[in-house]
Amino acid sequence: MGSVNADLVVGVERRPSAGETVLGSDLVTYPGGKGANQAVAAARLGGRVGILGRVGDDGHGELLRGSLAGAGVDLGHLTVTPGPTGVALITVDPDGDNSIIVSPGANARLLPPDVERARAMLAGASVVSFQLEIPIETVEAAARTAADAGARVVLNLSPPAPLPGGLAELCDPLVVNEHEAAFLLGHRGEPAVLAKELLGRGPRSVLVTLGADGALVADASGVTAVASPRVEAVDTTGAGDAFTAALCLRLARGDALADAARYAARVGAAAVRRPGAQSSFPGADEELPA
């Protein structure tokens, strides 16, 4: 459940400072949005996936519906809303690092009544993945519905926002990068320390992603480091979504959290080797970096 966006991507030699103009490459439009990215990535890896979201009645909405359907995602609860589809404005530098501004569009209109209409789909899921490019009250309502039905709730706290205590307690795991962890805690620190402190805030488990350095898994048994394969990065857009999707897929199949994270790190590494978000995600038969 989450955002469905068109990604408008420009390559730049360097990202501009405040008040500065730089020239970039030709504009390229890719299907994206954290919710749609995770749905497509999990479906390509062989998962049975449905999405709860909204798109506008514009060309971007048509592009996104086509991309999701092409990956095999169930669109029964992807509603078309009058107005614009969500858009992400993305700059990518020569090292593959990106900066992103999101205009929510139809994503902002995904509201608790949508959750009620999708109750059967949420109740039938093994794992439900959430992000925060949609209203947080909608995330809370859906996470509670899913958890009450026995589904495992995975929340990727991106973009970062204050986390209501009732929602935190449903997360298994809460997935954050180092910046998002620092936002929640109000300070920076060693990743392992941050992971333990976050675990004390209520989630059932925590996963801190570290980019090329892998991830840390924290639960009642302690903190486990997960390494990432070393690859040459072309574009990091969508890598975190590929990671989370792979994590959810393996959790749905019964893997322990650390084992699921090891697989997810390989999928995330595979995704940075090609440009774009959904266009970079590996298929089930693709050999992953070791």
Each residue's pLDDT expressed in tens, for the chain with a length of 290 residues: 999 999 999 999 998 889 999 999 999 999 999 999 999 999 999 999 999 999 999 999 999 999 999 999 999 999 999 999 999 999 989 887 888 898 999 999 999 999 999 999 999 999 999 999 999 999 999 999 999 999 999 999 999 999 887 999 999 999 999 999 999 999 999 999 999 999 999 999 999 999 889 999 999 999 999 999 999 888 887 899 999 999 999 999 999 999 999 999 999 999 999 887 888 899 999 999 98
Tokens of 200: 């004390």
- Known catalytic membership, residue 241: yes
Cα(280)–Cα(286) distance, integer angstroms: 12
The residues, ordered by sequence, that sit 6+ positions from 155 with a Cβ below 8 Å of its Cβ are 129, 130, 131, 139, 143, 167, 170, 171, 174, 175
- pLDDT attached to residue 124: 95
- pLDDT attached to residue 162: 92
Task: For residue 2, say whether it is annotated as part of any ligand binding site.
Answer: no
- pLDDT attached to residue 61: 97
- Measured in Å, how far apart are the chain's first and last C-alpha atoms? 30
pTM: 0.92
Task: For residue 237, say whether it is annotated as part of any ligand binding site.
Answer: yes
Task: For residue 213, say whether it is annotated as part of any ligand binding site.
Answer: yes
Which regions of the chain does DSSP assign to beta strands (E)? 5-11, 28-32, 50-56, 74-81, 86-92, 98-103, 127-130, 152-156, 171-177, 206-209, 215-219, 222-226
Q: The sheet that has 98-103: what strands, in order across it?
A: 28-32, 5-11, 86-92, 98-103
Yes or no: say if 238 and 271 are a contact pair by the CB < 8 Å rule. yes
| Structural domain spans, the chain | 5-16+24-277
Superfamily (CATH H level) for 5-16+24-277: Ribokinase (3.40.1190.20)
Yes or no: say if 22 and 93 are a contact pair by the CB < 8 Å rule. no
Task: For residue 258, say whether it is annotated as part of any ligand binding site.
Answer: no
Query: Which of the residues 241, 255, 259, 285 is marked catalytic?
Result: 241
Task: For residue 5, say whether it is annotated as part of any ligand binding site.
Answer: yes
